[in-house]
Amino acid sequence: MDRGREVRELRELSERVSASLGLLYGRRRVGKTFLLRNVWEKQRLFYFLAADETTERNRVELLQEMERYFEDKIYEEDYPNWRTVFRLLAELAERSDTVVVLDEFQNFLQDNDQEDIPSKLAAVWEEVIEKNITLILCGSEISMMKSLNKGKAAPLYGRFNWSQRLRPFTYREVDMMVEGLNPREIVEVYAIYGGMPQYLNTIYTAQPLTENVVETILSPRGEVNLQISSLFAQERGIREPGAYHAILTAIAGGNTTVNEIAQASGVQGENNTITRKKLSVLQSLYLIDRERNCDEKRGAYHYYILDHGVHFWYKFVLPNRSRLELGDERGVWG
């Protein structure tokens, strides 16, 4: 597999002689954590995965992880707020030439009304701007992570030295990840699984593609099936997931304009307002995109699913869920 450009840029970022702040975001399962944990030597990386809980619990757990990694006795009561925590983290990282990764950073912002964490981080960053520190903020809540560097009202706006959305693999990169396949098989794999590393990692090349699809996608217990079926359960703030499922099923079924999607999905509202809003949300999650015919400047937009794996699931798996639940995976495939 190939993340060569990202690896090179991250290493260059950490070699700067002044403070370096990076932002990495992208869909779940796209490989963000794997990338960040394999750029630098293990002993140089301080990695903390924020949990989906209160910011207070994350503050305590971050201090505990800092104590373990840096082997310094840390008393929680000495660091009662995020500004003191970030200042301590910067001091320890500079002392040991450590790259700091705060993963799933959006979980720090769960109850952000109590304490504006980005503002506290921005204030500390101004204090350490001349020091040799590398900090990477990473997350899966795409709109929330993008907002950290969007507009002058964002406390961290303009402070990032590097920002990147990690995308799924292309066809050529799939060829590099799933080895031992001929060109036809690579096309089939890409058309069915798409470019998400987590989906591709389930493929066992020693057995036929049919067996892989039956076991990982069509089976109700298949790993890829379970991951795609829970797409919206993993996204904070998504209401009425059934409506999103219906919209994606409609698009996968060949309905591409707003009117067609609204009618096929049953998600309508006055002037298709509800449909348009939900399509906008799906675009923000990078699950769909839209385009006009090449010779039309004012024509209707046509929507399509970006991820081939998601498209396959909504076209063939969800509509056949009853048969698949009864164990007729091969009948559906055939």
pLDDT at residue 236 in the model: 72
State yes or no: pLDDT of 296 exceeds 80: no
pLDDT at residue 112 in the model: 53
Max CA pair span of the chain: 66
* Whole-structure pTM value: 0.88
Chain segment 229-242, per-residue pLDDT in tens: 998 887 777 888 89
**Comparing 112-116, 148-152, 330-334, which segment has the lowest mean pLDDT?**
112-116
Chain segment 46-84, per-residue pLDDT in tens: 999 999 888 899 999 999 999 999 999 999 999 999 999
Residue in the block written with tokens 């794997």: 34
Cβ-contact 108, 50 below 8 angstroms: yes
State yes or no: pLDDT of 1 exceeds 60: no
Grade residue 115 by pLDDT with cuts at 50, 70 and 90: low
Chain segment 3-24, per-residue pLDDT in tens: 889 999 999 999 988 899 999 9
Dist CA 237 CA 235 (whole Å): 6
Q: What is the percent of the chain with per-residue pLDDT over 70, rounded to a whole number?
A: 98
Phi, psi of 139 (to 5 degrees): -165, 165
Strand-pair category, 99-103 with 134-139 = parallel
pLDDT at residue 111 in the model: 66
State yes or no: pLDDT of 270 exceeds 90: no
Grade residue 113 by pLDDT with cuts at 50, 70 and 90: low
Grade residue 295 by pLDDT with cuts at 50, 70 and 90: confident
CA triplet 265, 270, 274: central angle to 5 degrees?
Answer: 50
pLDDT at residue 279 in the model: 95
Q: How far is CA 120 from the centre of its chain?
A: 25
Residue in the block written with tokens 């006795």: 73
Tokens of 147: 């907002």
Chain segment 201-237, per-residue pLDDT in tens: 999 988 999 999 999 999 999 999 999 999 888 777 7
pLDDT at residue 86 in the model: 97
Grade residue 277 by pLDDT with cuts at 50, 70 and 90: very high
Contacts of 13 (CB under 8 A, 6+ apart): 20, 22, 134, 161, 162
DSSP string covering 71-101: T----GGG--SHHHHHHHHHHHHHHHT-EEE
Region 250-257: what's the mean pLDDT? 97
CATH of the domain spanning 4-165: 3.40.50.300
Q: How far is CA 105 from the centre of its chain?
A: 12
